[in-house]
Amino acid sequence: MRLATSLPVVALVLNFAAFAPKAQSAPPQVVAQTPPMGWNSWNYFAAKVDDKGVRAAADEIVATGMKDAGYIYVNIDDTWEGERDANGVLHTNSKFPDMKALADYVHSKGLKIGIYSGPGPKTCAGYAGSLGHEEQDAKMYADWGIDYLKYDLCSFREAVMTSQAPDDKAAQMRLMIAAYDKMGKALKATGRPIVFSLCQYGWDAVWEWAPALGGNLWRTTGDITPRWDRIYAILSQQEGLEAYAGPGHWNDPDMLEVGNGKLSLDENRAHFSMWAILAAPLLAGNDLLNMKPEIKAILTNRDVIAIDQDALGKQGSRIYSDGEVEVWTRQLSGGALAVAVLNAGDNRYSTHPFHLSLAKLGLRGTQHGKDLWTGKDVELTDDMPLEIAGHAVFLVRIAARK
C-alpha cells in the first residue's frame, strides 16, 4: 500500500518483552500453514478497484489455472470504504454495493476473499479506518464472510502514536502493539478463521512480537514497486529474518510485481524465484484479464510454487556472494534443497561468469537436481561454471541427499 506520508523504514532496536500488552494475547488461528497465495488489487488497480473488477479477477484466477496452482485469496485493498452511520457501522461506497454478495460470489468459485483496513482513523488513501471500531468491524467482516484482513498502520502513527507520545519511542511502540493486538483479539472473537496480515513496514522488529498477537504475516519493509532495484533492495533486507518464519507465521516482503511495470522476463522470473526461496506470501498484483502468456507461465510454475509452499516452512538464506552473484538456499521437506544463483549486478544486459562452489553449500560430490525454469534434469559439480544473465536466476531443486 502506498503511504500517504513519507515515513522512514527503519526498525527500532527495542526489546518486545518490555513493551508487550499486559493482557494475554490471542494465539494464532489455524490458517496460513503455508504462505498465503492469491491476488491483491493495489499494485495495478489501486483506487480503481471495484466490485466488477474483483469478480473478474476471481473469474480469471479460475480460468487461467491459477486457482489450481494454489492461488486462493482474492484481496480487496484500500478505497472500498464509505461512511459510518450513527451507530458506527461502516458502509461500503458506491464501488462496492453489496460486499456480502461479492464474498458469496468469490466463495462460489472455490476461492477466499480478503479486505483492507487499518488501526488509525483513516486508511492510507484517506478512507475510514478502524480506530475505535475494531470489534464492530471484525464482526462485520465475519458476517460478510471475509477470510483475510490486511491491517495497514498509516494514519495511526500521526493520530495516535506521535500525538499521544510525541517524544517517547518506547511508548509509541506500546501503542502500536496494543492496536494490532486489539484487532487480533477482535478477529479471534468472531470465531471465523481470518488471516491477519500486519502491514506496518517492518518497524520495531515486528517479526519478534507479531506472532503473539495472532499475526499470520507481517511486512518486513516499505512498499514494493515494479523496479528491479527496489525488488532487490527488499530481497536483501530479508537476510537474518529466517528464524521468525514458519507454518502460520511468515515474513512478508510485500506483494508480487510480476507482470507489472517494465520488468524484463529474467527480472520477473528472478523476483518470483526469490520470493519462493524466502517462503514469502505469493500475492499476484497484476492485471489478470490482460496477462501475457509468459507472465502466466511464471505465476503458475508448479515447481517454483512447490518451493514456496514446502511443508517444512523454512525460509531460505543467502549463503555466500561472489562479486555480483549471490547464492541462496532453502531446506525443503524430505531432505531436498533449493538453490538459487542470482546475478544481482547493476547491468541487466551483462552476463556474469561464475563458478558454483558446492562445498560452500555443505554438499559433496555430484548433485542431481532439476532446473525449475527449463524443467531439465541437471547435474551439479563443485566449481561448476555458470553463465547467468543480468538480473537472471538459476533455480534448481536438488533431490534428497542420501
Confidence of residue 20 (pLDDT cuts 50, 70, 90): very low
Q: Which CATH architecture has domain 16-308?
A: Alpha-Beta Barrel (3.20)
Say which amino acid occupies 326: E
Q: How many CA atoms lie within 13 A of 304 on its CB side?
A: 28
- So which residues are the catalytic ones? 152, 223
Which pLDDT value is given to residue 401?
67
Say which amino acid occupies 95: K
CB atoms within 10 A of CB 58: 23
Cβ burial of 351 (10 Å; 0-12, 13-18, 19+) is middle
Which pLDDT value is given to residue 329?
98
8 A C-beta contact, residue 154 and residue 118: yes
**pLDDT higher than 50, residue 131:** yes
| Strand pairing report for 377-380 and 112-117 | unpaired
**pLDDT higher than 80, residue 24:** no
8 A C-beta contact, residue 285 and residue 40: yes
- Give the Cα-Cα-Cα angle 34, 199, 49 (nearest 5 degrees): 90
The pTM is what?
0.93
Mean pLDDT of 327-334: 98
Domain boundaries, the chain: 16-308, 317-398
8 A C-beta contact, residue 278 and residue 271: no
Confidence of residue 350 (pLDDT cuts 50, 70, 90): confident
Mean pLDDT of 106-131: 98
Percent of the chain with pLDDT over 90: 89
All cell numbers assigned to 342: 542470482
Mean pLDDT of 385-395: 95
CATH value of 317-398 in 2.60.40.1180, 2.40.50.1020, 2.60.40.10, 3.40.50.300: 2.60.40.1180
**pLDDT higher than 80, residue 145:** yes
Distance CA 43, CA 287 (A): 9
Q: How far apart are the first and last CA of the chain?
A: 45
- Give the Cα-Cα-Cα angle 354, 359, 362 (nearest 5 degrees): 125
**pLDDT higher than 50, residue 18:** no
The more confident residue out of 393 and 7 is: 393
Confidence of residue 101 (pLDDT cuts 50, 70, 90): very high
Which pLDDT value is given to residue 21?
44
Mean pLDDT of 155-171: 96
Distance CA 328, CA 278 (A): 9
Which pLDDT value is given to residue 139?
98
Which pLDDT value is given to residue 353?
78
Considering the chain, what is the average pLDDT of its residues? Answer: 93
What proportions of the chain, in percent to the nearest 5, are helix, strand and coil? 35, 20, 45
**Residues pairing with 264 in the sheet:** none
**pLDDT higher than 50, residue 4:** no
Confidence of residue 30 (pLDDT cuts 50, 70, 90): confident
Distance CA 236, CA 252 (A): 13
Mean pLDDT of 117-136: 98
- Give the Cα-Cα-Cα angle 322, 323, 324 (nearest 5 degrees): 110
8 A C-beta contact, residue 196 and residue 183: yes
**pLDDT higher than 50, residue 3:** no
Q: Are 16-308 and 317-398 in the same CATH fold?
A: no
Which pLDDT value is given to residue 29?
60
8 A C-beta contact, residue 81 and residue 90: yes
Confidence of residue 219 (pLDDT cuts 50, 70, 90): very high
Comparing 69-73, 294-298, 325-329, 353-357, the range with the smallest average pLDDT is: 353-357
